Amino acid sequence: LFFFPFIEECSKCGESISSGKACTALDQTYHVDCFTCVKCGEGLAGKSFYAVDQKPYCEKDYLDTLEKCSACNAPITEKMLRATGKPYHPSCFTCSSCNRCLDGVPFTVDSNGLVHCVNCFHEKYAPRCAICSKPIVPEEGNQESVRIVALDRSFHVDCYRCEVRLWFEIDFQSRRARVLSTRQSYSLQRLQYQSCSSNDKLENNSNF
């Protein structure tokens, strides 16, 4: 604050500042009573304020302009992580099962939109091998898992064994014999994972 010994025009009201107190902020000059928060009108002369698009805001109204964390709903004032199209504090972006922070580590999203670390997703959703009953997950160092599907059951590649059973049916009336065999075909299905770090935008997620 200072006294103006000469005529100056107030940047807000446009009237001259010929005498009395004035203040300068944002490279402009104001009457003391004119320098207020653009949202609520609180006087800001001599106080801390925030500038948004060269306009002064009090702290409360400034925080209202910020994006809110999708987990805790508090304003994000510093570092922001954006994942699955939503903003988060980095520490708030966690696995919905074990609460492990997922900032910068692989994660995936289930069909209900819940975020999981890879380990928890495997435990909860990965197909189980019909032979050993263990989850079918990627080998160490890989981001894909491979499974064999046969007879609506899943198998590790190393666990799958093709069995051919033979039935002999003798038709005594026609004196014919025929051999029936079963063959099991299989398909390979691959699972992929994504990772996210702070300030990354991930709009597309792998579907399992």
User: Per residue in 41-87, pLDDT tens?
Assistant: 999 998 999 999 999 999 999 999 999 999 999 999 999 999 999 99
β-pair partners for 81: 88
CATH superfamily assigned to domain 67-125: Cysteine Rich Protein (2.10.110.10)
Tell me the helices (H) and strands (E) count for the chain, helix number first.
Answer: 2, 17
Task: Tell me the C-alpha distance between 107 and 117, whole Å.
Answer: 5
Q: pLDDT tens-digit profile of 90-140?
A: 999 999 999 999 999 989 999 899 999 988 988 888 888 988 888 888 877
pTM of the predicted protein model: 0.56
Topology match between the domains 1-65 and 67-125: yes
pLDDT of 16 reads 86
Mean pLDDT of 197-205: 42
pLDDT of 62 reads 93
The domains of the chain are located at: 1-65, 67-125, 128-167
Decide: helix, strand or coil at residue 102.
coil
Assess whether pLDDT exceeds 80 at residue 197. Answer: no
Assess whether pLDDT exceeds 70 at residue 5. Answer: no
Class of domain 1-65: mainly beta
pLDDT of 138 reads 82
Q: pLDDT tens-digit profile of 173-195?
A: 444 433 333 333 344 444 444 44
Decide: helix, strand or coil at residue 124.
helix
